[in-house]
């Protein structure tokens, strides 16, 4: 059984699969969450390109934001006998049963960009950023920028129950902890989408004296920040000045907003989770090398000082 004893099992499995993969290309099922954000669209593009480059037959399933669709897709991949599964899990919980089924079928599962609450032996590795750290970087930027001034913060959370929503909130709260001049006055989910980010920001503005009581917006992704920027402008305020805007992802559009002075900072999340995932999978299948349980991607802070239009030009054709 593949996952029963890490390396010994891995080597045994690898030798079985090697025979098969030498004759035919690898088949990998990819259960993607959906297309809620520019970042997600880029991750899909990059994963497809990376598969093509490596001659991998990628079976792609878009779950339209629903965990039940992801579970169905995984079951279908298992029934088809794929060599491996990539899973970008929409929420943290509720995966154990289907992952047990994959394990029973000796199909390794690699998590992309989000983590889950499940026993570690149910997946091969997780390729993700440090999402608590991302929130911390965003919070620390704000603390430094604002200094001793009173600062009421509104927060747009990602999808409820998803690992980035939970962890990015935690990291940000850690950064402002013990600093009495910083207070999160409103916090609600915007589901990682531009439309909901705008909608929820409109309600925050209404509730906070037309926005006059708000010093900063912290959004768990750029798309929600971009929607909120629109709402701030429509309320007659200047985003980036009247209300500071800090978010996460570093999608091309946020660099245009940074260049226009309408956003202040973003923390980069690479959309290329696929290259490290394929590397780990190939090493596992071909050499029996079990990867670390966590393959961490980098997180980098960008501000208005980082030549945003140059970064925009570099990123604009990358599939966002």
| Cβ atoms < 10 Å from Cβ of 55 | 8
Shortest spacing between CB 111 and ligand AHR, in angstroms: 10
The reply to whether 248 sits near ligand AHR by the rule CB under 6 A is: yes
Using DSSP's 3-state secondary structure scheme, residue 39 falls into: helix
- Which of 139, 164, 288, 291 binds ligand AHR (CB under 6 A)? It is 164
Q: How far is 61 from 87, CA to CA, in rounded Å?
A: 10
- Which of 13, 30, 39, 312 binds ligand AHR (CB under 6 A)? It is 39
Residues 299 to 318: which contact ligand AHR by CB under 6 A? Answer: none
153 contacts: CB under 8 Å, gap ≥ 6: 142, 176, 182, 183, 184, 185, 214, 215, 216, 217, 218
The reply to whether 173 sits near ligand AHR by the rule CB under 6 A is: no
Compare residues 60 and 121 and give the one whose CB is closer to ligand AHR.
60
- Which of 31, 32, 37, 70 binds ligand AHR (CB under 6 A)? It is 37
Shortest spacing between CB 223 and ligand AHR, in angstroms: 6
Residue with tokens 């290329």: 272
Q: How far is 156 from 290, CA to CA, in rounded Å?
A: 38
Q: How far is 222 from 101, CA to CA, in rounded Å?
A: 36
- Which of 201, 225, 250, 269 binds ligand AHR (CB under 6 A)? It is 269
- Which of 13, 14, 36, 74 binds ligand AHR (CB under 6 A)? It is 36
- Which of 114, 169, 196, 198 binds ligand AHR (CB under 6 A)? It is 114
Compare residues 199 and 223 and give the one whose CB is closer to ligand AHR.
223
Residue with tokens 């970042």: 39
Shortest spacing between CB 114 and ligand AHR, in angstroms: 5
Cβ–Cβ < 8 Å for 244, 250:
no
Compare residues 13 and 39 and give the one whose CB is closer to ligand AHR.
39
Compare residues 103 and 315 and give the one whose CB is closer to ligand AHR.
315
Using DSSP's 3-state secondary structure scheme, residue 314 falls into: helix
Quick one: CA dihedral 166, 29, 297, 50, positive or negative?
Answer: negative
- Which of 50, 83, 92, 113 binds ligand AHR (CB under 6 A)? It is 113
The reply to whether 3 sits near ligand AHR by the rule CB under 6 A is: no
Helix (H) or strand (E) holding 125: strand 125-128
How many residues interact with ligand AHR (rule CB under 6 A)? 13
Stretch that binds ligand AHR, among 13-21, 33-41, 141-149, 312-320 (CB under 6 A): 33-41
Compare residues 78 and 156 and give the one whose CB is closer to ligand AHR.
156
Stretch that binds ligand AHR, among 35-43, 65-73, 206-214, 302-310 (CB under 6 A): 35-43
Q: Draw the binding track, 194-233, toward ligand AHR (x: CB under 6 A; -: no contact).
A: ---------------------------x-x----------
Q: How far is 250 from 309, CA to CA, in rounded Å?
A: 12
Using DSSP's 3-state secondary structure scheme, residue 256 falls into: helix
- Give the tokens for residue 298: 């980098």
Cβ–Cβ < 8 Å for 153, 200:
no
Q: How far is 269 from 197, CA to CA, in rounded Å?
A: 19
What CA–CA distances, in Å, run from 277 to 114, 125, 153? Answer: 13, 8, 36
Binding site for ligand AHR (CB under 6 A): 36-37, 39-40, 113-114, 164, 192, 221, 223, 248-249, 269
């Amino acid at each position: 059984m593949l996952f029963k004893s890490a390396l010994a099992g891995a080597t045994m499995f690898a030798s079985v699969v090697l025979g098969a993969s030498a004759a035919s290309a690898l088949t990998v099922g990819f259960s993607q969450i959906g297309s809620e954000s520019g970042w997600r669209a880029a991750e899909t593009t990059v994963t497809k390109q990376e598969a093509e480059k490596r001659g991998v037959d990628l079976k792609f399933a878009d779950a339209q934001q629903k965990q039940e669709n992801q579970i169905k897709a995984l079951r279908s991949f298992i029934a088809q006998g794929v060599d491996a599964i990539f899973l970008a899990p929409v929420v943290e919980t509720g995966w154990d049963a289907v992952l047990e089924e994959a394990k029973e079928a000796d199909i390794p599962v690699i998590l992309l960009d989000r983590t889950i609450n499940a026993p570690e032996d149910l997946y091969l590795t997780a390729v993700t950023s440090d999402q608590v750290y991302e929130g911390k970087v965003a919070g620390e930027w704000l603390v430094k920028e604002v200094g001793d001034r009173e600062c009421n913060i509104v927060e747009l959370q990602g999808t409820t129950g998803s690992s980035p929503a939970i962890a990015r909130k935690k990291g940000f709260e850690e950064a402002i902890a013990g600093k009495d001049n910083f207070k999160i006055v409103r916090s609600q989910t915007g589901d990682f989408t531009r439309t909901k980010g705008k909608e929820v920001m409109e309600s925050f503005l209404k509730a906070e004296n037309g926005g006059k009581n708000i010093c900063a917006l912290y959004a768990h992704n750029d798309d929600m920040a971009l929607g909120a920027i629109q709402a701030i402008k429509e309320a007659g305020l200047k985003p980036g000045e009247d209300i500071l805007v800090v978010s996460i992802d570093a999608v091309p559009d946020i660099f245009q907003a940074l260049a226009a002075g309408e956003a202040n900072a973003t923390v980069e999340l690479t959309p290329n989770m696929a290259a490290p995932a394929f590397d780990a999978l190939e090493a596992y299948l071909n050499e029996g090398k079990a990867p670390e349980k966590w393959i961490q991607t980098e997180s980098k802070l960008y501000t208005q000082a980082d030549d945003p239009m140059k970064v925009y030009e570099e990123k604009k054709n990358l599939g966002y």
